[in-house]
Amino acid sequence: MPFTTSTDGVRIYYEAQGTGPAVVFVHGSGGHHAAWWQQVPRLRDRFTVVTLDLRGFGRSASALDEFDSRAFPDDIAAVLAAAEVGPAVLVGQSIGAAAALKTALRTPVSAAGVVLAHSLGGIDHPDLAARVRADRAVAEKLPVLDRLLTPRFQTDEPAKTFLFQQMGSFNTAKMADLRNLNSDGPTIEDVVGSGIPLCFLAGENDAVLRPDTVRAAAALIPSATLELVATAPHSMYWEAPELFNTALIRFLEKAHAHDLSAAGELI
Protein backbone atom coordinates (compact mmCIF):
# COMPACT_ATOMS: atom_id res chain seq x y z
CA MET A 1 0.00 0.00 0.00
CA PRO A 2 1.43 3.43 -0.92
CA PHE A 3 2.08 5.70 2.02
CA THR A 4 4.04 8.90 2.25
CA THR A 5 5.10 10.97 5.25
CA SER A 6 3.92 14.49 6.02
CA THR A 7 6.35 17.11 7.29
CA ASP A 8 5.66 16.25 10.94
CA GLY A 9 6.19 12.52 10.46
CA VAL A 10 2.54 11.46 10.05
CA ARG A 11 1.91 8.61 7.57
CA ILE A 12 -0.50 9.54 4.77
CA TYR A 13 -2.18 7.01 2.49
CA TYR A 14 -2.77 7.64 -1.21
CA GLU A 15 -3.49 5.86 -4.48
CA ALA A 16 -2.60 6.83 -8.06
CA GLN A 17 -4.32 5.31 -11.07
CA GLY A 18 -4.40 5.96 -14.81
CA THR A 19 -2.21 8.05 -17.09
CA GLY A 20 -2.26 11.61 -18.35
CA PRO A 21 -2.35 15.02 -16.64
CA ALA A 22 -3.08 14.81 -12.94
CA VAL A 23 -6.17 15.36 -10.85
CA VAL A 24 -6.03 14.96 -7.05
CA PHE A 25 -9.20 14.37 -5.01
CA VAL A 26 -9.45 15.58 -1.40
CA HIS A 27 -12.43 14.14 0.49
CA GLY A 28 -14.91 15.81 2.83
CA SER A 29 -15.53 15.22 6.54
CA GLY A 30 -17.34 11.90 6.13
CA GLY A 31 -15.20 10.51 3.36
CA HIS A 32 -11.81 9.08 2.50
CA HIS A 33 -10.06 7.91 -0.68
CA ALA A 34 -12.80 5.40 -1.57
CA ALA A 35 -15.45 8.15 -1.64
CA TRP A 36 -14.41 8.78 -5.25
CA TRP A 37 -15.47 5.36 -6.54
CA GLN A 38 -17.74 6.98 -9.15
CA GLN A 39 -15.08 9.42 -10.36
CA VAL A 40 -11.90 7.31 -10.65
CA PRO A 41 -13.20 4.83 -13.29
CA ARG A 42 -14.66 7.73 -15.31
CA LEU A 43 -11.38 9.71 -15.39
CA ARG A 44 -8.44 7.32 -15.26
CA ASP A 45 -8.35 6.63 -19.01
CA ARG A 46 -7.43 10.27 -19.68
CA PHE A 47 -5.96 11.48 -16.40
CA THR A 48 -3.66 10.33 -13.63
CA VAL A 49 -6.12 10.19 -10.73
CA VAL A 50 -4.78 10.51 -7.18
CA THR A 51 -6.94 9.91 -4.13
CA LEU A 52 -5.75 10.27 -0.56
CA ASP A 53 -6.71 10.07 3.08
CA LEU A 54 -6.07 13.16 5.18
CA ARG A 55 -4.69 12.39 8.67
CA GLY A 56 -7.40 10.90 10.87
CA PHE A 57 -9.27 9.54 7.87
CA GLY A 58 -9.29 6.14 6.15
CA ARG A 59 -5.91 4.42 6.19
CA SER A 60 -3.82 7.45 7.17
CA ALA A 61 -2.46 7.79 10.69
CA SER A 62 -5.27 7.79 13.24
CA ALA A 63 -3.50 7.20 16.56
CA LEU A 64 -2.78 10.86 17.24
CA ASP A 65 -4.00 12.49 20.44
CA GLU A 66 -5.77 15.13 18.37
CA PHE A 67 -6.07 16.16 14.75
CA ASP A 68 -5.35 19.68 13.61
CA SER A 69 -6.76 20.46 10.20
CA ARG A 70 -4.12 23.15 9.73
CA ALA A 71 -1.77 20.28 8.85
CA PHE A 72 -3.97 19.02 6.00
CA PRO A 73 -2.19 21.09 3.32
CA ASP A 74 1.09 19.47 4.40
CA ASP A 75 -0.53 16.04 3.94
CA ILE A 76 -1.63 16.93 0.40
CA ALA A 77 1.75 18.42 -0.46
CA ALA A 78 3.46 15.22 0.71
CA VAL A 79 1.23 13.16 -1.58
CA LEU A 80 1.92 15.45 -4.55
CA ALA A 81 5.66 15.03 -4.02
CA ALA A 82 5.48 11.27 -3.52
CA ALA A 83 3.19 10.62 -6.48
CA GLU A 84 5.42 12.72 -8.79
CA VAL A 85 2.49 13.62 -11.01
CA GLY A 86 3.49 17.17 -11.97
CA PRO A 87 1.09 20.10 -11.84
CA ALA A 88 -2.32 18.77 -10.77
CA VAL A 89 -5.86 20.04 -10.54
CA LEU A 90 -6.78 19.76 -6.85
CA VAL A 91 -10.43 18.86 -6.30
CA GLY A 92 -11.65 19.46 -2.76
CA GLN A 93 -15.09 18.37 -1.59
CA SER A 94 -16.65 20.43 1.21
CA ILE A 95 -14.07 20.62 4.04
CA GLY A 96 -11.44 19.20 1.71
CA ALA A 97 -11.71 22.30 -0.47
CA ALA A 98 -10.12 24.62 2.08
CA ALA A 99 -7.15 22.28 2.42
CA ALA A 100 -6.85 21.95 -1.36
CA LEU A 101 -6.88 25.71 -1.90
CA LYS A 102 -4.28 26.36 0.81
CA THR A 103 -2.03 23.67 -0.68
CA ALA A 104 -2.23 25.25 -4.11
CA LEU A 105 -1.50 28.73 -2.80
CA ARG A 106 1.55 27.51 -0.86
CA THR A 107 3.02 25.76 -3.89
CA PRO A 108 1.47 27.32 -7.02
CA VAL A 109 3.93 25.49 -9.25
CA SER A 110 2.28 22.19 -8.26
CA ALA A 111 -1.27 23.38 -9.06
CA ALA A 112 -2.80 23.41 -12.52
CA GLY A 113 -6.07 24.47 -10.95
CA VAL A 114 -8.34 24.12 -7.93
CA VAL A 115 -11.95 22.96 -7.81
CA LEU A 116 -13.95 24.10 -4.77
CA ALA A 117 -16.74 21.54 -4.72
CA HIS A 118 -19.64 22.68 -2.52
CA SER A 119 -17.35 25.02 -0.63
CA LEU A 120 -15.86 28.50 -0.78
CA GLY A 121 -12.51 27.06 0.26
CA GLY A 122 -12.27 29.07 3.48
CA ILE A 123 -11.72 32.34 1.57
CA ASP A 124 -11.56 35.16 4.11
CA HIS A 125 -14.11 37.81 3.09
CA PRO A 126 -16.64 39.47 5.43
CA ASP A 127 -19.65 39.28 3.10
CA LEU A 128 -18.95 35.67 2.15
CA ALA A 129 -18.41 34.70 5.79
CA ALA A 130 -21.78 36.21 6.73
CA ARG A 131 -23.50 34.38 3.90
CA VAL A 132 -21.91 31.06 4.89
CA ARG A 133 -22.97 31.52 8.52
CA ALA A 134 -26.55 32.25 7.43
CA ASP A 135 -26.62 29.20 5.14
CA ARG A 136 -25.26 26.99 7.89
CA ALA A 137 -27.83 28.24 10.41
CA VAL A 138 -30.61 27.11 8.07
CA ALA A 139 -28.92 23.81 7.23
CA GLU A 140 -28.42 22.91 10.90
CA LYS A 141 -32.19 22.74 11.31
CA LEU A 142 -32.15 19.64 9.10
CA PRO A 143 -31.04 16.12 10.05
CA VAL A 144 -27.41 15.66 9.02
CA LEU A 145 -28.19 13.20 6.24
CA ASP A 146 -30.79 15.54 4.74
CA ARG A 147 -28.15 18.24 4.43
CA LEU A 148 -26.02 15.98 2.27
CA LEU A 149 -28.39 13.81 0.22
CA THR A 150 -31.90 14.59 -1.00
CA PRO A 151 -34.82 12.75 0.67
CA ARG A 152 -35.79 11.40 -2.76
CA PHE A 153 -32.34 9.81 -3.25
CA GLN A 154 -32.49 8.29 0.22
CA THR A 155 -35.83 6.67 -0.67
CA ASP A 156 -34.89 5.55 -4.18
CA GLU A 157 -31.32 4.43 -3.42
CA PRO A 158 -31.27 2.87 0.08
CA ALA A 159 -28.14 0.78 -0.61
CA LYS A 160 -26.08 3.76 -1.79
CA THR A 161 -27.42 5.81 1.11
CA PHE A 162 -26.37 3.11 3.59
CA LEU A 163 -22.90 2.90 2.02
CA PHE A 164 -22.59 6.71 2.19
CA GLN A 165 -23.27 6.57 5.93
CA GLN A 166 -20.88 3.65 6.45
CA MET A 167 -17.98 5.49 4.79
CA GLY A 168 -17.65 7.77 7.79
CA SER A 169 -17.25 4.84 10.18
CA PHE A 170 -13.72 4.26 8.85
CA ASN A 171 -12.55 7.65 10.10
CA THR A 172 -11.17 8.64 13.49
CA ALA A 173 -11.21 12.42 13.04
CA LYS A 174 -14.51 14.09 13.85
CA MET A 175 -16.02 17.45 12.94
CA ALA A 176 -14.64 18.91 16.18
CA ASP A 177 -11.15 18.15 14.94
CA LEU A 178 -11.74 20.34 11.89
CA ARG A 179 -12.36 23.53 13.91
CA ASN A 180 -9.25 25.28 12.57
CA LEU A 181 -9.86 24.50 8.92
CA ASN A 182 -11.08 27.95 7.97
CA SER A 183 -8.58 29.85 10.10
CA ASP A 184 -5.99 31.93 8.27
CA GLY A 185 -8.01 31.63 5.09
CA PRO A 186 -6.69 33.29 1.94
CA THR A 187 -8.07 36.64 0.89
CA ILE A 188 -9.70 37.35 -2.44
CA GLU A 189 -6.52 39.21 -3.36
CA ASP A 190 -4.41 36.14 -2.49
CA VAL A 191 -6.51 33.94 -4.77
CA VAL A 192 -6.68 36.39 -7.67
CA GLY A 193 -3.00 37.25 -7.38
CA SER A 194 -1.93 33.61 -7.51
CA GLY A 195 -3.21 33.27 -11.07
CA ILE A 196 -4.25 29.68 -10.30
CA PRO A 197 -7.33 28.67 -12.33
CA LEU A 198 -10.25 28.27 -9.94
CA CYS A 199 -13.62 26.55 -10.33
CA PHE A 200 -16.63 26.79 -8.03
CA LEU A 201 -18.57 23.54 -8.52
CA ALA A 202 -21.82 23.29 -6.58
CA GLY A 203 -25.47 22.34 -6.81
CA GLU A 204 -28.55 24.51 -7.06
CA ASN A 205 -30.14 22.29 -4.36
CA ASP A 206 -27.17 22.34 -1.98
CA ALA A 207 -28.72 22.55 1.50
CA VAL A 208 -25.41 23.57 3.11
CA LEU A 209 -24.19 26.23 0.69
CA ARG A 210 -26.89 28.22 -1.09
CA PRO A 211 -26.55 29.06 -4.82
CA ASP A 212 -26.57 32.81 -4.20
CA THR A 213 -23.60 32.41 -1.86
CA VAL A 214 -21.63 30.57 -4.53
CA ARG A 215 -22.58 33.17 -7.14
CA ALA A 216 -21.43 35.95 -4.81
CA ALA A 217 -18.04 34.26 -4.34
CA ALA A 218 -17.59 33.72 -8.06
CA ALA A 219 -18.47 37.36 -8.76
CA LEU A 220 -15.53 38.45 -6.58
CA ILE A 221 -13.09 36.40 -8.69
CA PRO A 222 -13.91 37.27 -12.31
CA SER A 223 -11.42 34.76 -13.70
CA ALA A 224 -13.06 31.85 -11.84
CA THR A 225 -15.21 29.24 -13.54
CA LEU A 226 -18.70 28.79 -12.09
CA GLU A 227 -20.36 25.38 -12.45
CA LEU A 228 -23.68 25.66 -10.60
CA VAL A 229 -25.53 22.47 -11.49
CA ALA A 230 -29.34 22.39 -11.52
CA THR A 231 -31.04 19.87 -9.19
CA ALA A 232 -27.75 18.79 -7.59
CA PRO A 233 -27.38 18.46 -3.76
CA HIS A 234 -24.38 18.99 -1.44
CA SER A 235 -22.94 15.53 -2.08
CA MET A 236 -23.35 15.70 -5.85
CA TYR A 237 -20.28 13.54 -6.44
CA TRP A 238 -22.15 10.69 -4.72
CA GLU A 239 -25.81 11.28 -5.57
CA ALA A 240 -25.45 12.60 -9.12
CA PRO A 241 -22.00 11.50 -10.30
CA GLU A 242 -22.80 11.96 -13.99
CA LEU A 243 -23.53 15.66 -13.38
CA PHE A 244 -20.48 16.12 -11.15
CA ASN A 245 -18.16 14.30 -13.54
CA THR A 246 -19.37 16.20 -16.60
CA ALA A 247 -18.86 19.58 -14.94
CA LEU A 248 -15.48 18.52 -13.56
CA ILE A 249 -14.25 17.25 -16.92
CA ARG A 250 -15.11 20.59 -18.54
CA PHE A 251 -12.76 22.30 -16.10
CA LEU A 252 -10.07 19.62 -16.35
CA GLU A 253 -10.03 19.99 -20.13
CA LYS A 254 -9.56 23.74 -19.72
CA ALA A 255 -6.90 23.52 -17.01
CA HIS A 256 -4.97 20.75 -18.78
CA ALA A 257 -5.67 21.92 -22.33
CA HIS A 258 -2.02 22.03 -23.35
CA ASP A 259 -1.23 18.48 -22.20
CA LEU A 260 -4.46 17.03 -23.57
CA SER A 261 -3.93 18.71 -26.95
CA ALA A 262 -0.39 17.36 -27.13
CA ALA A 263 -1.77 13.87 -26.47
CA GLY A 264 -4.44 14.27 -29.14
CA GLU A 265 -7.19 14.30 -26.50
CA LEU A 266 -8.59 17.67 -27.60
CA ILE A 267 -9.49 18.87 -31.06
pTM: 0.95
Q: How far apart are CA 32 and CA 54, in angstroms?
A: 8
Q: Specify burial of residue 188 (Cβ count, 10 A radius: 0-12, 13-18, 19+).
A: middle
**Greatest distance between any 2 Cα atoms in the chain:** 52
Residues 173-224: pLDDT tens digits?
A: 877 676 677 778 899 999 999 999 999 999 999 999 999 999 999 999 999 9
Using one digit for the tens of pLDDT, what is the confidence trace for 24-73? 999 998 899 999 999 999 999 999 999 999 999 999 998 877 788 889 99
Q: How far is CA 246 from CA 10, 33, 112, 241, in A?
A: 35, 20, 19, 8
- Alpha helices by DSSP H, listed for 24-143, are 40-43, 72-83, 95-106, 126-139
In terms of Cα–Cα distance, which of 236, 234, 228, 221 is closest to 201? 228
pLDDT tens by residue, 120-154: 999 999 999 999 999 999 999 999 999 999 999 99
